[in-house]
Amino acid sequence: DQQVKQNSPSLSVQEGRISILNCDYTNSMFDYFLWYKKYPAEGPTFLISISSIKDKNEDGRFTVFLNKSAKHLSLHIVPSQPGDSAVYFCAATGGFKTIFGAGTRLFVKA
């Protein structure tokens, strides 16, 4: 059962524009959500997170929005840079176990 879904396998964006990556979840017991970025031949690296008691968290060019009623979260990157090209994983946790989505590959074109 896919408790965390990233329905877009890939996204292509022009440099300087906004990138929006989406994620849906099914388990209402999740209380913390995270985004990780992964480059080839490396492990995922933590990017930004949000608690279920908030609806927005911002860190520089990265903002995560949480809509609990829709069980949906999104990651906004603005402005997008070529170095942002990577695979982005959405993850959710409600205890010891963290569930990851399948990832979205972002291409930022110069």
Residue 18 tokens read as: 């906004």
The full length of the chain comes to: 110
Whichever of 49 and 61 has its CB closer to other proteins, that residue is 49
Bridge pairing between strands 32-38 and 86-93: antiparallel
The C-alpha atoms of residue 108 and residue 18 are separated, in whole angstroms, by: 10
Interface pick for other proteins out of 10, 27, 45, 81 (rule CB under 8 A) = 45
- List the interface residues with other proteins, window 24-43 (CB under 8 A): 32, 34, 36, 41-43
Binding residues for other proteins, rule: CB under 8 A, are 4, 6, 9, 32, 34, 36, 41-46, 49, 89, 91, 93, 96-103
